[in-house]
Amino acid sequence: MNLLLDPREFRLLDGLRLNPRKYFQGRVRGERLTKKKGISIEFADYREYTEGDDLRHLDWNVLARLDTPVMRTYQDEEDLALHLLLDVSPSMEFGDPPKLDTAKQLGAAIAYVALNGGDAVFPRALGLRQQTPRPLRGRVGYPRLATWAENLKPPEQTAETLSKALKAFAASSARAGIVLILSDGLDPEAPNAIRALGGRGHEVWLLQLLSDVEMDPDLEGDLRLLDGEGGLPIEITANGMVLKEYRKRLQAHNEQLAEAVRRSGGRYELIVGNKPMEKVLKDVLKRQGWLT
Amino acid sequence: MSFQNGAALAWLIPLAGIIILLYLLKMRRRDVRVPATFLWPARVEEIRANALFQKLRPNWLLFLQLLALALVCFGMARPQTQQKGLTGEITVLVLDSSASMSATDIAPSRFEEAKKLAKEAIQSSRAGDRLALIEAGATPKVIFPLGNDQAKQVRLLDAVKPTDSEGEVGDALRLAAALVGTQDGARIVLLSDGVFEKVTNFTRGKAALVYKSIGDQDDNLSISALGTAETATGRQLFCGIKNHSSKPIDGSLTLYADGEAIASTKVPGIAPNGQWGHTIAAPAGAKVFEAKLTASDMLKSDNYAVSINDPGASLRVLLVSKGNPFLEKALFLDPRVTLDRTTEVPPQEMGGIGGGTYDVVVFDGIEEQPVKARGVITFGSPGPSSPAKATGSAAKPQFLSAEKSDLMRGVDFEGVFIEKQTQVQPTATGKVQAETSAGPLVISSERPDKRQILVTFEPLNSDFPLQVGFPILLANALDFVAGGNSSQALAVKPGQPFSLPWTKEAQLTGPSGTHTLSPTGSTLVIREAKTVGKHALKLGETTKDIYVALKSDRESNIEPAKNLPLGGGEVKATQTPLRFADFWRPLALLALLVLAGEWWLFARRS
């Protein structure tokens, strides 16, 4: 079985937790402390005793000293929903190594952190018409997640564009939580779809993956460009002016994506080329506070 | 404007059509798969043919290519405009340096004016023009061949000096025609006053002939005759002066005998084309008579004449031969010789002794006959008056020996191949000078009234004419038959080459300076006596006086010719001829610039 990460990377991820900017109400008891009072070992506050209270939480020391019954309350612990949205469109096959491989590794790493922290992981492949896997919980769920990710392959033809898939997800009754999007974001409607996700109460984490040739294409001459996502081909004369215009447009598009993510209160990072996984984990996810 | 190759313009249409067609052809674009196309600007630059049968869109590259093509075709059509100028693309300047060009009717002289024109022509020539310069003096001389090194050409032109000789313009023109007569657009420019012998046997070929007439006056007096004659009252010196101009001119005449002035007289105004003569008694014993004329005329070189009254100084020679260029050349090179040729002896020259026209008769392969001349040189067959009698003939004899005499001095028969020798028996007066295995080779005979030399083989039956000994033997023979030693004074024409037997360096000092002369083999050929006046030729310890005088009625008649019968037609003098100026070079340069711009635009777009 390929676990997508090597032992050194697992060790790096152990003890880390997802660090959302928003508060999300959990569905089941987990390991994440919440604002709600509940049962845990983390002391929260005192309150007056009322009839029917569980005497196990009565503070006997206070009662003996003040002759007043006071109840100890504790923080509740819930789980957090991490929606792992992996872009499996044909464009993710570009790059060396392919962007999809990097996306799988990064997704697996963050999912491992979530599962290790008792959060629920909802994996979903964007661009593939397949049944959504069951949510995963606990460290034991990681091998299933790795297997699922490992088996993901881009379709011959795009079944669904990134923006459509994101909008469909936003329209679903998915539980609010962190939406981790691992994609190249190469869809002109992607910023709007991200805004829609934000509107549904999700916190969008976008790791945009682009290869070196996408950042600085090495094209020259008269060309017919075939769209990897199945769009209409266009004819261009690749020269200095055209390349300059391309780079300008790409930068504007990336800025739109980042702006949409920021408005949803999420996190955005552009990862270019074959950046080592360890470097991404340390420099981006840990240092920038994605994981704590 | 006209075109030398107008047909080249016809290429413009098909080539432009091909270029436009290339722009109309659909180009197969390379397919490239990219992650997404929405980021790419759909911008198509028409840097190459792009779409078949779609309308032609405005395109700077197409425009520049068509412009470059038009410029190239236009350039290939060789457009030309008419401009004034002496030179063309290929020009041979023929510079007349004869005596008449020293006339001073145009300051400082006609020759300097011609040089000035030649210099202007050189300096105004264009980068691709090629010029040559031929000096038409006594013998034509290529000063510089076809080329375009202006600095070198001007330097060589500056070194050309005028001469006092009779010009051989015909030879110079023939040489020019040989240089460029087969080339299209070539031009022969004659810078002359037109005072030269009528030119025959000249065709200019494809070359254009331009005659630039130099000179505008004809004022000139010349000494037309100077000589002595025995009369009843004694020896008289006669001097004749001719007025070649169209108005009377006067002057003064001074006569010299052996360098001493003996008479000076005023020359009255001589009528146009008239002559005036002056006779005085010649001093006894004087050998060299000179005449100097002072007049306000335009040409000075014909104001001097000389007459040498020395039997050895001048020899009238009759060559009786069926044709022998070697012999003729050797005789011609002797400065004393005035040569006539014939195939048989004229009756009036035959017979007894004295009274004949000629001093020497040379028989070449023709049996010697009794003649009146005081000297006889016979090659081949002896006659009844020869110093030997023929007894037979022998083939390929071997040289044995030669006497150490003045006649054989410097002559070497060793190794000379003789095909056939006449075997002879010398008479009582005959003295054998050289001998072969077949008998006497050279026999001389000396009597008070006649001297004879018999050479018992014909020069053309041997390789002797190719040996250095041949002209020496002839010079020695002329010395012998003329009566002994050669004269110490010689009279030659300016620039006329002559030779003397001499084996060491010699120096010629004259009005134009001193020249050091080197012999060729045993012969000293002198070509440097080009200036009128007395020259001193130093030969070791002895010195010969060389008197150079023009005495040419043709050169003295300095009236410039306006039209010349040349090259099968009459050539008119032009002031400044028209020339066709090509300007294909700037067009080619412009085409290159346009192509460079097109390349830059292409590179910028791609």
Q: Is the pLDDT of residue B143 over 90?
A: yes
Given a contact cutoff of 8 angstroms between Cβ atoms, the answer to whether B65 and B19 are in contact is yes
Phi, psi of B406 (to 5 degrees): -60, -35
In angstroms, what CA-CA distances link B213 with B66, B110, B576?
49, 10, 10
- Rounded Cα distance between B240 and B61, Å, is 85
Burial class of residue B325 in the structure, from the number of CB atoms within 10 Å of its CB (0-12 exposed, 13-18 middle, 19+ buried): exposed
Handedness of CA B570, B576, B582, B585 (dihedral sign): positive
pLDDT at A284: 87
> SS3 of B152, please?
helix
Cβ of A219 within 8 Å of Cβ of B32? The answer is: yes
Nearest-Cα distance to chain A for B28, in Å, is: 9
Given a contact cutoff of 8 angstroms between Cβ atoms, the answer to whether B18 and B49 are in contact is no
Instruction: For residue B30, list chain A residues with Cβ-Cβ distance below 8 A.
Output: 221-224
CB atoms within 10 A of CB B521: 14
How far is Cα of residue B69 from the mean position of the Cα atoms in its chain? 50
pLDDT at A207: 94
- Residues in Cβ contact with B278 at an 8 Å cutoff, skipping those fewer than 6 apart: B238, B239, B240, B241, B253, B255, B263, B265, B267
pLDDT at B47: 47
Nearest-Cα distance to chain A for B72, in Å, is: 29
Query: Average pLDDT of chain B?
Result: 84
- Residues in Cβ contact with A71 at an 8 Å cutoff, skipping those fewer than 6 apart: A46, A47, A48, A49, A50, A53, A57, A58, A59
Query: Whole-angstrom distance between the N-terminal and C-terminal Cα of chain B?
Result: 41
At B220-257, the pLDDT tens digits run 999 988 888 777 788 888 999 999 988 888 899 999 99
What interhelical angle do B584-605 and B60-76 show, nearest 10? 160
- Residues in Cβ contact with B103 at an 8 Å cutoff, skipping those fewer than 6 apart: B109, B110, B193, B215, B217, B220, B298, B299, B558
Q: Is the pLDDT of residue B355 over 50?
A: yes
B window 576-605, beta carbon within 8 A of A: 604-605
Nearest to A229 by CA among A158, A165, A164, A126: A158
Cβ of A223 within 8 Å of Cβ of B31? The answer is: yes
Instruction: For residue B35, list chain A residues with Cβ-Cβ distance below 8 A.
Output: 91, 94, 184, 186, 214, 228-229
Looking at per-residue pLDDT, the higher value among A76 and A126 belongs to A126
In angstroms, what CA-CA distances link B412 with B404, B406, B416, B466, B522?
11, 13, 8, 12, 11
Nearest-Cα distance to chain B for A256, in Å, is: 13
Q: Tell me whether A236 touches chain B (CB under 8 Å).
A: yes
Percentage of chain A lying above the pLDDT 70 cut: 89
Q: Tell me whether B404 touches chain A (CB under 8 Å).
A: no
At A66-100, the pLDDT tens digits run 888 888 877 666 668 899 999 998 889 888 889 99
Helix (H) or strand (E) holding A169: helix A162-171
pLDDT at B49: 44
Phi, psi of B64 (to 5 degrees): -65, -40
Among the partner residues B36, B48, B605, nearest to A186 by beta-carbon distance: B36
Instruction: For residue B32, list chain A residues with Cβ-Cβ distance below 8 A.
Output: 219, 223-226
Nearest-Cα distance to chain A for B30, in Å, is: 5
Q: What's the rounded mean pLDDT across residues A189-208? A: 92
Instruction: For residue A253, list chain B residues with Cβ-Cβ distance below 8 A.
Output: 39
At B8-66, the pLDDT tens digits run 888 888 888 888 877 777 666 788 888 888 888 876 655 444 444 555 667 788 888 88
Q: Where are the beta strands (DSSP E) in B336-482?
A: 337-342, 360-364, 375-379, 388-395, 399-402, 420-426, 431-436, 439-446, 451-455
Beta-strand relationship, B542-548 and B489-492: parallel
pLDDT at A43: 67
Of the pLDDT bands very low, low, confident and very high (cuts 50, 70, 90), residue A111 is very high
pLDDT at A21: 82
What tokens appear for B335 in the block?
């400065």
What tokens appear for B312 in the block?
């050895």
Instruction: For residue A245, list chain B residues with Cβ-Cβ distance below 8 A.
Output: 41, 43
Of the pLDDT bands very low, low, confident and very high (cuts 50, 70, 90), residue B434 is very high
Q: Tell me whether A87 touches chain B (CB under 8 Å).
A: no
One-letter amino acid at B377 equals I
